[in-house]
């Protein structure tokens, strides 16, 4: 699917101090990410704090992205560790105009590989749009092994995987053995050039909320511009580490606050960046000349 190649941004959900959604800031974020060159929007991935966003809020976030004048392709997050609840969501949300759903591996209950396979087949059978698998063992407590991914890739409605295992041997096996047309997408921002080198078609990114240079790096990777990639990667390594020190999207929201795009507020159980982290992020942004003048 050409719509899912390049840079997909896992959009944050801007909030006010009282935890309500800052709708004007969300529209500002849509404008900004469009301007800095993302290829598509991912609405309500985990970077959007999906576990704490209500069903009604999710519908409104999706509707605003659909209505935006940029008319970018949209991926919408629908996943969970209760298969039947995921199926119910697929029936309740209007997915017209959505290019695909992003569905995370079931978390906490640690299913077997057979359980993961059956879960995603059930999701694919009920989804009215294509399915992107999302493997992120550091968050879910289970790894979707390459053999299971390749088995799932045979289903006509499962079209891609966002791979955030960090296991390059596993990723290389998927790249080498996947069926034609099945997309490999990076789920680790700074591993994207390495993954592109072995065949990945793009990334679903946290950094793309804020950094035009990240989007440039990915597009340069896809174009084979190695020297440009090397220079941009060197710039981004330092700040990338800061984004996850106190949880995601705490770090990227702090970046966006310093850049004047939205506030840093998050919903419990997350907490805003500490003063020490906020200062470290501000210093890193100064070095990148990304603070408003």
> pLDDT tens-digit profile of 108-162?
999 999 999 999 999 999 999 999 999 999 999 999 999 999 999 999 999 999 9
- Looking at residue 208, its pLDDT comes to 98
Asked if the model's pLDDT at residue 288 lies above 70, the reply is yes
- Residue 118's CB: how many other CB atoms inside 10 A? 13
The pLDDT of residue 293 is above 70: no
Cβ neighbourhood burial of 167 (10 Å; 0-12, 13-18, 19+): middle
C-alpha dihedral, 28 to 22 to 237 to 268, nearest 10°: -170
CA distance 155 to 158: 5
Neighbours of 238 (CB within 10 A): 13
The span from the CA of 183 to the CA of 191, in Å, is 16
Q: Is residue 204 part of an annotated ligand binding site?
A: yes
Parallel, antiparallel, or unpaired for β 40-43 and 202-205? Answer: unpaired
Residue-wise pLDDT tens digits, 56-101: 999 999 999 999 999 999 999 999 999 999 999 999 999 999 999 9
Is 132 domain-assigned? yes
Task: Please give the distance of CA 126 from its chain centroid, rounded to a whole number.
Answer: 22
- pLDDT for res 63: 97
Residue 292 confidence class, pLDDT cut points 50, 70, 90: confident
Annotated catalytic residue, options 134, 230, 234, 286: 134
- 29 within domain boundaries: yes
Averaged pLDDT, 209-235: 97
Contact between residue 232 and residue 253 where contact means Cβ atoms under 8 Å apart: no
User: Rounded to the nearest 10 degrees, what angle do helices 275-287 and 226-243 cross at?
Assistant: 160
Q: Which residues lie across from 7 on neighbouring strands? A: 203
Could you tell me if 178 and 160 are in contact, meaning their C-beta atoms sit under 8 angstroms apart?
no
In a domain, 96, yes or no: yes
CA gap 267, 51 in Å, rounded:
10
239 is in an annotated binding site: no
In a domain, 47, yes or no: yes
Instruction: Look at the chain and report how many structural domains it folds into.
Output: 1
Q: Which of helix, strand or coil describes residue 19?
A: coil
Give residue 139's pLDDT. Answer: 92
Please, where are the H alpha helices in the chain?
A: 23-35, 55-67, 83-92, 113-126, 137-140, 146-152, 168-177, 192-197, 212-222, 226-243, 250-258, 275-287
134 is catalytic: yes
Residue 231 lies in a domain: no
* Residue whose structure tokens are 């710039």: 235
What range does the domain containing 181 cover? 2-222
Task: Give domain status of residue 67, yes or no.
Answer: yes
Read off the CATH number of the domain in which 200 is found. 3.20.20.70
**36 located within any domain:** yes
Decide if 283 is inside a domain.
Answer: no
């Amino acid at each position: 699917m050409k719509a899912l190649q390049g840079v997909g941004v896992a959009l944050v959900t801007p909030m006010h101090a009282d935890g309500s959604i800052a709708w004007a800031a969300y529209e500002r974020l849509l404008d900004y990410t469009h301007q800095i060159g993302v290829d598509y929007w991912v609405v309500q991935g985990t970077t959007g704090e999906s576990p704490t966003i209500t069903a009604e809020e999710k519908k409104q976030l999706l509707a605003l992205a659909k209505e935006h004048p940029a008319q970018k392709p949209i991926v919408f997050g629908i996943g969970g560790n209760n298969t039947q609840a995921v199926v119910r969501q697929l029936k309740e949300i209007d997915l017209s105009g959505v290019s695909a759903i992003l569905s995370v591996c079931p978390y906490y209950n640690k299913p077997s590989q057979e359980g993961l396979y059956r879960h995603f087949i059930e999701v694919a059978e009920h989804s009215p749009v294509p399915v992107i698998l999302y493997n992120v063992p550091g968050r879910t407590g289970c790894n979707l092994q390459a053999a299971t991914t390749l088995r799932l890739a045979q289903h006509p409605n499962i079209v891609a995987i966002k791979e955030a295992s960090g296991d390059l041997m596993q990723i290389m096996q998927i790249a080498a053995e996947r069926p034609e047309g099945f997309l490999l997408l990076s789920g680790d921002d700074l591993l994207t050039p390495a993954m592109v080198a072995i065949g990945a078609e793009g990334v679903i990114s946290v950094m793309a909320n804020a950094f035009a240079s990240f989007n440039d790096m990915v597009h340069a990777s896809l174009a084979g511009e190695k020297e440009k990639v090397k220079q941009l990667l060197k710039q981004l390594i330092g700040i990338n580490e800061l984004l996850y020190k106190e949880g995601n999207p705490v770090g990227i929201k702090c970046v966006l606050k310093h850049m004047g795009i939205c506030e840093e507020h998050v919903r419990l159980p997350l907490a805003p960046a500490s003063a020490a982290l906020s200062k470290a992020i501000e210093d890193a942004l100064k070095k990148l000349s990304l603070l408003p003048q």
